[in-house]
Structure 1
Amino acid sequence: MAPYRFKLQQVLDYRAQLEDQAKMAFAKAQQRYEAHVAHVNALRERLAEYEPKLYQTNNQSELWLLRNFVQALAQDIANAETHLLQLAQELNKARQNLVKKSQERKLLDKLKENQAKRHAKEERFKEQQQFDETATLRYKPQTV
């Protein structure tokens, strides 16, 4: 039985490589997103820490400083949330790219599998024909 050789193996290898690159890009985008989520949460916690102090102080100069600090924190949070939205969009694009690359590779995997099955079936058929031919040639009818 002749071994099966997939003619598009180089294309399959290339698509697997592209899928791996897409996985890495997705992982990096996810890591950036999660790091920025942690940053936004830290800013929110800091705001939650200083906002009550704004209402507890009686000193005008301290009140002015706290008010400015709280406003700056609120602005930082707004900017960070805008950037977080951009990172979420990048993450979604990376996810879509990964799904696309995965589907392309799986398509070729399925083609390779189907062709291997067909090749095995054809080889079994050829082998059976050889057996039948050999049996026919070796058959000796009984003489009467």
Structure 2
Amino acid sequence: MQQYHFRLQKLLDIRLQKEDESKRIFKEAQSEKLKVEKKLNELKDNYIKYRTISNKESVIEQKIRHVYLNAINYSINEAHEELAKKQKVLEEKRDELKQKQIERKTVETLKEKQKATFLKEQNFIEQKANDEFALYGFIRNLKNLKGGEMNGD
């Protein structure tokens, strides 16, 4: 029986490599987005922690706290913008990954169909050879049987 050889194997290998690279890039983008989300949550926690101003503080302490809260608020707004950009990049990378997977699956499906056709043809050839051997064996046995009857008469 012959071994199946897929003529487009190099193309499939290239598409697998591109898909793996796209997966790596997607994971990096996802990691960056998570870092920005973590930073944003820390800023929000700091804002909540320091937003209450007590009357026991001096005017200077209240002024420092107010300036600090403004700086945190500004950082929160920047982090929101950065997060929106990271989410957009992440969606682009997700779409690229999906496209790479579709391209790979297309070639894999072609390979599977061609392999199934090849195996079907090989099984047909093998069945045909078996049928011929069985027919030759039957004819040989029939000749031997007839030859034995003629000699026995």
Q: Aligned pair count?
A: 143
Post-superposition offset of 1:24: 0.2
Give 3-state SS (helix, strand or coil) of 2:2's partner: coil
Taking a change above 3 Å as real, the CA distance of residues 83 and 47 of structure 1, as seen in their structure-2 partners, is same
Partner of 1:15 in structure 2? 15
- 1:102 alignment counterpart: 101
1:88 matched residue in structure 2? 87
Q: CA deviation at 1:47?
A: 0.6
Q: Which one-letter code corresponds to 2:69 in the other structure?
A: V
**How far apart are residue 60 of structure 1 and its match?**
1.9
Q: CA 1:8–1:56 in 2, change beyond 3 Å: closer, same or farther?
A: farther
Q: Gaps (5+ residues) in structure 1?
A: none
Structure 1 range deviating more: 36-45 or 109-118: 109-118
Asked if 1:24 corresponds to 2:24, the answer is: yes
Structure 2 segments unaligned to the other structure (5+ residues): none
Displacement of 1:29 in angstroms is 0.5
Residue 112 in structure 1 maps to residue 111 in structure 2: yes
CA 1:21–1:116 in structure 2 vs 1: closer, same or farther (change >3 Å)? same
Name the structure 2 match of 1:42. Answer: 42
Task: Say yes or no: does 1:129 pair with 2:128.
Answer: yes
2: CA distance between counterparts of 1:36 and 1:14? 33
TM-score, with structure 1 as normaliser:
0.91
Once the two structures are superposed, what CA deviation does each residue of 1:44-90 show, in whole Å capped at 9, x if it has no partner? 111111101x3545522222221111111101100011001000111
Query: Contact conserved, 1:57 with 1:63, CA < 8 A, in 2?
Result: no
Q: Which has the larger radius of gyration?
A: 2
Query: Residues 95 and 65 of structure 1: is their aligned pair in 2 closer, same or farther, counting only changes over 3 Å?
Result: same
SS of the equivalent of 1:5 reads coil
Percent of residue pairs bearing the same amino acid type? 29
Mean Cα displacement is larger for which, 64-73 or 82-91? 64-73
Alpha-carbon distance in structure 1 between the residues aligned to 2:121 and 2:17: 31
TM-score, normalised to structure 2, is 0.86
